[in-house]
Structure 1
Amino acid sequence: MRIVSKVSSSLLASSLAILGLVSTSGSAFAQNYQNWYPRSITPPNGYQYPCALTALPDNLQGVPVSDRQFINHIYSLILKALQAKMVMLSALNGSSGFSAAYATYYSQIAALRAKILAEPTPGGLETFRAQVVSAIDNQCTFFDKAQKMRQQGTSFEDVMQVPEGRTASQMLMAAWNEMAKRYPSWSPEVKDSIYHHLCALDLF
């Protein structure tokens, strides 16, 4: 019995060691990418998010390992895009400085758009990426038209009717549907965060 016990203990120790190696290897593989997501999602000074935005969870539970780099990187860029949108939308509702605000916004958005297009995209996520880019492009067109109209004295309420704004919203809803379809087993925390990133990017 003592010999069996020693053998059993030895086998158990070996099994735990192997499991430890597998776990370590799996963890390393799961995080084998540069984390772009910021430690803090505090909005720009003086601003508030338009919805209950929560930080993207580190573990991305329910998202396949092969998709995690893309999701981490894309939603880091979406976070920056929605913050730029907030500042531009606020400027549009001001009384002056529309052209300067748009120039800053455009510079930021063009750089973010280029990074989104450059990010390696897992098979099956091409449609989602195209929808996000389309939403950003339509918002950019919206702000360009809107800031020119504001310079001419058009009210904020009227410029919000520029059609590209609604088109951008439709693209964001389509992007959300792509996410929900691809990740049916995602955790509630991941689902909530992804939804509110896309929600906060919306104009309405």
Structure 2
Amino acid sequence: MHRPDDVTGLVLAGGGSTRFGRDKALAALGGVPFVALVHAALAAHAREVLVATGTEPRAYPVAARVVLDPVAGGGPLAGLAAGLADAETPWLLSAAVDLPYLTPAALRPLLAAPADGADVLVATDPGGGRQPTCALWRTRTVEPVVAEHVAAGRLALRDLLDRLAVREVRVEGGALHNVNAPGDLGPADG
């Protein structure tokens, strides 16, 4: 099991939220902003939590250091590059801000899985679908590969995973349910 002292958390919150119509990080589930929900899930397992906000700093209602993407429009990969560059731990645990159903318990399998030889442990849903924004990254081996991809303009996470030793880890329940539009939430939330 990875100890919190060995893990930095990273909330990927740099997207434009175009399908959502407003900043997703501030949308609420049960009255709590998405960014606070994802931050809490990560903070339970990390020494520090960072928030990647794109190329411009944004203030969010969480105790986290803001990191800036190295390129505009770089998507989650640019946010991952920012987090890896600032992480001071051997591991970086990332989660997208549009995963508001994520909980500390849902992340436990990622932290408990054996990592021998793996560069990244990627969360998969019960159907086997990968959620590469929710993953545990080995900073030392992943950072140079991510930097190379960003420099080359290869910004798809799936392309990055093709270059790394990947271990898939199943995450149960609906914790990996993406909220891309207000309709993805129940009527009482949003």
Name the larger-Rg structure.
1
TM-score, normalised to structure 2's length? 0.31
Q: Which has the higher contact order (CA 8 A, sep 6+)?
A: 1
Hey, which of these two has a bigger chunk of helix by percent?
A: 1
Hey, which of these two has a bigger chunk of strand by percent?
A: 2
